[in-house]
Chain A
């Protein structure tokens, strides 16, 4: 339609190239949108092929250039600490404070500055206004019982010739109530490194060792310490609280000292969270890296690179990153991998310079890792205590070391401590060489293996391809809906339009406002749905399933109320407009809103936007009134109906979640309550994904369903 018009007008008025390009895109929007969409999905599948090997980008780091200095002497000292801690635990008299005292004693024997930090657990309550807000030190702590507090032990080594402006942080979370062997070993590793660092002459940054009390969760302890570190409390509230509780304890001088002196060092260059897994590996010592922080933020890739380099090339540890294990046995993925491998071989035969083929097994592994990387970033929940650091722009990773055999064997344990300690020492020495913050390497990346990554420039392409079809289709739908009438009129009556006609045309050209209003109302409703869990949480004794049902009912109810208050948006169109155009305009505006929402989300959390686009773009593009399709009774139309129903089913967030959970983890024991739990965890961590689901995805789904069920 548009094309024919442009042809008619072309000889008369030479249009600008950009306008002609736009017209071309609009007129071929059907074909182009299908091509873009499939290309988007295909490039997503090709991403593991495009991954590049990681490299250390910052010259100053020089990992592994210095020989490790950690010797068996430090390890034997560390062994002493491990033994003392485990014996404390065996005696069962380790009433929290006892183990902290022991660690503090060990620290101060080394000549480090020791301080304690008391913190109170914060309830994970849903605060609708806490999204994107900075951590607040003055949060009112309700129901603090004086007996229940956590106690972090912090030791600081000052760099003898450093300027004291920068620091490197070591974190070892442990449960003060019950110390497992893994936790004791992680303390041992940190202690061996710490004792070495008190003696070395090459420190340029201070070293802070935080022994985080994970009684109330690892993240909470680290977060509490960071909050005190960066946001000092000057108001009397904190002191008052402490004073209130003070009477209950034995009031020794040491206690007062440790409360008064919250010790600080410089700004943090990097933080390492050290953990030792309680489970033991079958074949060799291995190291798992967890890096995802809130809203899919990642530490600088250089930090992961140096850990990877030192672990693999210096300590001979096997590196692991999270994978979707269920994908490893996927038949179709294997077949796809083999096809790609053979294509790679073929390309190599044609031109030896084309090297894009990777072995099928690598492809499957890469895809599994990529999927988990995408998932954990999209979730927006930190995968460990390192996430707390990211909120203060500090690069941090969690290193979980697991030993080959359960280390009852003394020699094995020494070897394990030595390797772990040397790895940490190497990373610290490398970071110590750093002159500025980590800035050289990528912050936006997805890992496909510990030593392969996809940078933002590559993975953005898939998203751009998926999303680019949306504005084209929206424009073409709008053009169609508006062009139908004028051309019709032009053919019918060629005389100059009267004033009334012109008014009519103007009115018609603004009729998309009705659709826009409807879309706006639905999006408002999305915001309301987001806030509902806050109230549902207040209901006592609720199982997840009932909460979910209540939530769904309340949502439907609020939708009806909104329509009632704002007047049914249907009423206007019934009266004046032919239905045919009404649904097209509605779809056009919906698609535009989805496009804007997805683009905004891709800035905040790319992974969420990517997964959301995968679900939403086909649904939005396909949406077509069922009534029209059923009327025409053609095979093509029936297939469209089937597609619409399937996409509408999968596009609904709860069903999408349950289907994917079922696919990845098996369908046994799945209930709708799982979705509620999942959502609860998302809002508890104030992830932007929660906002996305409520404000963009759900309204778009509702509008698409509305288009599908439109009474034409």
Chain B
């Protein structure tokens, strides 16, 4: 009885320790993969252009190297098969009709009424029902660069979904924060083409997020041109000029984000493109656009093919230490579960040794602690053994 309590406590506390160790590592994780979440939020035939926007972006990121299984495409309505479409099963983003966006290889993950705020959050935060297939999940990790593109009708601090609900700026910020905490991304680029798009980013506070919107507060985003054959506007201005920028690129080009952001001309856009960089650590001039819109990254040579946690080895020395520690933890765990019914004496000794070990690591870590969060974590960690000891003494 007594022994099991102690082991449980020590287990908890080892977990906490592991957690605090890992948190300091995320900043240094390598960029290892690219994901794209492309969302068209509006229904109805007269919003043809929003679907065309999204499909154009889909085509672009695919061309630049993000594979289909890493693109989550959400289309709120099916314009291609709308009875009003003069060209059945085809979607165009230009009145010259040269490029059919809805060709053979379009994989729509969420369509029609599946595109809801709830599902959007589930995709971002990864909290799905068990039955949801892997192809509909955003399986990113702490090494992912994610492109989140959204288009639809919006307003001051909201984006309308499906004509019935809305995504608000604080909802978006909350989802991004959850993603950050769950280490679902390394860097995130949010691109929004809607009226007053800039207002949607106002609540963001997670580091690593970069945001660009088609218009400032109080501005409208306009459509680029009307296809008088199909009878609807086919593309929005912001997306049109984004695509115009990317058409000139292939996946080996080294154009930076600055050149993309600088390419928006307010007089052509009829609105002011706004980007928010204060949460983003790197300098935009040094970041190639293919970091988000493509899937280009460094390759790292490793000695053995199947080494667990191998990517962490590229980090610095203290990370190596932590891997040793985690190995040690695993051993401890094993021991605990095997010797669950043994006498308390042995356990207490282990406990003591454990505490000493922790104290030494704590001293080391304390010197490196810079941010308050981890300091608080350490404070909690210190509280726990004190509590345990006092409980044990008073037993």
CB <8 Å contact, A59 and B46: yes
Q: State the CA gap A338–B84 with chains docked (Å).
A: 50
What is the number of residues of chain B that contact chain A, defined by CB distance less than 8 Å? 18
Does B333 sit at the interface, judged by CB under 8 A?
Answer: no
CB <8 Å contact, B88 and A62: no
Does A19 sit at the interface, judged by CB under 8 A?
Answer: no
Residue of A nearest to B233 (CB): A65
Q: A51-93: contact bitstring with B at CB < 8 Å (1 yes, 0 no)?
A: 0000000011010011100000000000000000000000000
CB <8 Å contact, B83 and A433: no
Q: State the CA gap A432–B86 with chains docked (Å).
A: 12
Does A401 sit at the interface, judged by CB under 8 A?
Answer: no
Q: Which residues of the other chain, A, contact B270 by a CB distance below 8 angstroms? A: none
Q: Which residues of the other chain, B, contact A666 by a CB distance below 8 angstroms? A: none
Q: B44-75: contact bitstring with A at CB < 8 Å (1 yes, 0 no)?
A: 11100000000000000000000000000000
Q: Which residues of the other chain, B, contact A432 by a CB distance below 8 angstroms? A: 84
* Min distance, Cβ A417 to any Cβ of chain B, angstroms: 22
CB <8 Å contact, A60 and B45: yes
Q: Which residues of the other chain, B, contact A162 by a CB distance below 8 angstroms? A: 83
CB <8 Å contact, A429 and B231: yes
Q: State the CA gap A432–B83 with chains docked (Å).
A: 10
Q: State the CA gap A67–B81 with chains docked (Å).
A: 21
Given contacts A60-B44, A433-B46, A435-B44, contact A65 B86 (CB under 8 A): no
Of residues A66, A160, A201, A433, which shows the largest number of chain B Cβ atoms within 10 Å of its Cβ?
Answer: A66
Q: Which residues of the other chain, B, contact A59 by a CB distance below 8 angstroms? A: 46
Q: Which residues of the other chain, B, contact A200 by a CB distance below 8 angstroms? A: 86
Q: Which of B67-98 contact A (CB under 8 A)?
A: 81-88
CB <8 Å contact, A67 and B83: no
Q: Which residues of the other chain, B, contact A3 by a CB distance below 8 angstroms? A: none
Q: A15-40: contact bitstring with B at CB < 8 Å (1 yes, 0 no)?
A: 00000000000000000000000000
Q: State the CA gap A450–B110 with chains docked (Å).
A: 46
* Min distance, Cβ B220 to any Cβ of chain A, angstroms: 14
CB <8 Å contact, B46 and A62: yes
Q: A420-435: contact bitstring with B at CB < 8 Å (1 yes, 0 no)?
A: 0000000001001101
Q: Which residues of the other chain, A, contact B228 by a CB distance below 8 angstroms? A: 65-67
Q: State the CA gap A464–B84 with chains docked (Å).
A: 46
Q: State the CA gap A162–B45 with chains docked (Å).
A: 13
Q: State the CA gap A160–B232 with chains docked (Å).
A: 20
Q: Which residues of the other chain, A, contact B86 by a CB distance below 8 angstroms? A: 200-202
CB <8 Å contact, A435 and B45: yes
Number of A-B residue pairs with CB-CB distance less than 8 Å in the complex they form: 47
CB <8 Å contact, B83 and A163: yes
Does A161 sit at the interface, judged by CB under 8 A?
Answer: yes
Q: Which residues of the other chain, A, contact B231 by a CB distance below 8 angstroms? A: 62, 65-66, 202, 429, 433
Q: Which residues of the other chain, A, contact B226 by a CB distance below 8 angstroms? A: 65
Q: A185-202: contact bitstring with B at CB < 8 Å (1 yes, 0 no)?
A: 000000000000000111
CB <8 Å contact, A203 and B83: yes
Does B318 sit at the interface, judged by CB under 8 A?
Answer: no
Residue of B nearest to A60 (CB): B46
* Min distance, Cβ A309 to any Cβ of chain B, angstroms: 15
Given contacts A159-B83, A163-B83, A202-B86, contact A66 B44 (CB under 8 A): no
* Min distance, Cβ B348 to any Cβ of chain A, angstroms: 73
Does B173 sit at the interface, judged by CB under 8 A?
Answer: no
Q: State the CA gap A66–B229 with chains docked (Å).
A: 6
* Min distance, Cβ B112 to any Cβ of chain A, angstroms: 15
Of residues B83, B228, B233, which shows the largest number of chain A Cβ atoms within 10 Å of its Cβ?
Answer: B83
Does B230 sit at the interface, judged by CB under 8 A?
Answer: yes
Q: State the CA gap A435–B45 with chains docked (Å).
A: 8
CB <8 Å contact, A161 and B46: no
The number of chain A residues touching the other chain, given as a range, is 20 to 34
Does A397 sit at the interface, judged by CB under 8 A?
Answer: no
Query: At the interface, is chain A mostly helix, strand, loop or mixed?
Result: loop
Q: B351-381: contact bitstring with A at CB < 8 Å (1 yes, 0 no)?
A: 0000000000000000000000000000000
Which of B82, B229, B232 contacts A62, CB < 8 Å? B232
Residue of A nearest to B87 (CB): A201
Of residues A60, A159, A202, A429, which shows the largest number of chain B Cβ atoms within 10 Å of its Cβ?
Answer: A202
Residue of A nearest to B81 (CB): A161
Residue of A nearest to B86 (CB): A202
CB <8 Å contact, B83 and A204: yes
Residue of B nearest to A434 (CB): B45
Q: State the CA gap A381–B233 with chains docked (Å).
A: 42
CB <8 Å contact, A161 and B83: yes
CB <8 Å contact, A66 and B82: no
Q: State the CA gap A161–B46 with chains docked (Å).
A: 18
CB <8 Å contact, A202 and B83: yes
Which of B44, B46, B85, B233 contacts A202, CB < 8 Å? B85
Q: State the CA gap A433–B47 with chains docked (Å).
A: 11
Q: Which of A95-145 contact B (CB under 8 A)?
A: none
CB <8 Å contact, A66 and B88: no
Q: A546-574: contact bitstring with B at CB < 8 Å (1 yes, 0 no)?
A: 00000000000000000000000000000
Of residues B45, B82, B230, B233, which shows the largest number of chain A Cβ atoms within 10 Å of its Cβ?
Answer: B45
Residue of B nearest to A67 (CB): B228
CB <8 Å contact, B46 and A66: no
Q: Which residues of the other chain, A, contact B85 by a CB distance below 8 angstroms? A: 201-202
* Min distance, Cβ B78 to any Cβ of chain A, angstroms: 12
Q: State the CA gap A163–B229 with chains docked (Å).
A: 23
Q: Which of A129-180 contact B (CB under 8 A)?
A: 159-163
Q: Which residues of the other chain, A, contact B44 by a CB distance below 8 angstroms? A: 60, 435
Q: Which residues of the other chain, B, contact A202 by a CB distance below 8 angstroms? A: 83-86, 231
Q: Which residues of the other chain, A, contact B82 by a CB distance below 8 angstroms? A: 204
CB <8 Å contact, B230 and A66: yes
Q: State the CA gap A396–B228 with chains docked (Å).
A: 26
Q: B184-222: contact bitstring with A at CB < 8 Å (1 yes, 0 no)?
A: 000000000000000000000000000000000000000
Q: Which residues of the other chain, A, contact B88 by a CB distance below 8 angstroms? A: 161, 201
CB <8 Å contact, B81 and A433: no
Q: Which residues of the other chain, A, contact B230 by a CB distance below 8 angstroms? A: 66
Q: Which residues of the other chain, A, contact B87 by a CB distance below 8 angstroms? A: 201
Q: State the CA gap A203–B231 with chains docked (Å).
A: 12
Q: Which residues of the other chain, B, contact A60 by a CB distance below 8 angstroms? A: 44-46
Q: Which residues of the other chain, B, contact A433 by a CB distance below 8 angstroms? A: 45-46, 84, 231
Q: Which of B217-258 contact A (CB under 8 A)?
A: 226, 228-233
Q: B150-176: contact bitstring with A at CB < 8 Å (1 yes, 0 no)?
A: 000000000000000000000000000
Q: Which residues of the other chain, A, contact B81 by a CB distance below 8 angstroms? A: 161
Q: A645-677: contact bitstring with B at CB < 8 Å (1 yes, 0 no)?
A: 000000000000000000000000000000000
Q: Which residues of the other chain, A, contact B233 by a CB distance below 8 angstroms? A: 65
Which of A65, A67, A203 contacts B232, CB < 8 Å? A65
* Min distance, Cβ B80 to any Cβ of chain A, angstroms: 11
Q: State the CA gap A385–B86 with chains docked (Å).
A: 33
* Min distance, Cβ B152 to any Cβ of chain A, angstroms: 14
* Min distance, Cβ A61 to any Cβ of chain B, angstroms: 8
Q: Which residues of the other chain, A, contact B84 by a CB distance below 8 angstroms? A: 202, 204, 432-433
* Min distance, Cβ A255 to any Cβ of chain B, angstroms: 35
Q: State the CA gap A162–B87 with chains docked (Å).
A: 14
Q: State the CA gap A432–B226 with chains docked (Å).
A: 18
* Min distance, Cβ A302 to any Cβ of chain B, angstroms: 14
Q: State the CA gap A139–B207 with chains docked (Å).
A: 77
* Min distance, Cβ A549 to any Cβ of chain B, angstroms: 62
* Min distance, Cβ B77 to any Cβ of chain A, angstroms: 11
Q: State the CA gap A59–B229 with chains docked (Å).
A: 18
Q: State the CA gap A429–B85 with chains docked (Å).
A: 12
Q: B10-23: contact bitstring with A at CB < 8 Å (1 yes, 0 no)?
A: 00000000000000
Pairs A–B under 8 Å by Cβ, sample size 15: A59-B46, A60-B44, A60-B46, A65-B228, A65-B231, A65-B233, A66-B230, A201-B86, A201-B87, A201-B88, A202-B83, A202-B86, A204-B82, A204-B83, A435-B44
A-B pairs with lowest CB-CB distance, top 9: A66-B231, A204-B83, A161-B83, A67-B228, A162-B83, A202-B86, A204-B84, A65-B231, A60-B46
CB within 8 Å of A: which residues of B?
44-46, 81-88, 226, 228-233
**Given A66-B228, A433-B45, A435-B45; 6 other pairs, CB 8 A cutoff:** A62-B231, A65-B232, A161-B88, A201-B86, A202-B84, A204-B82
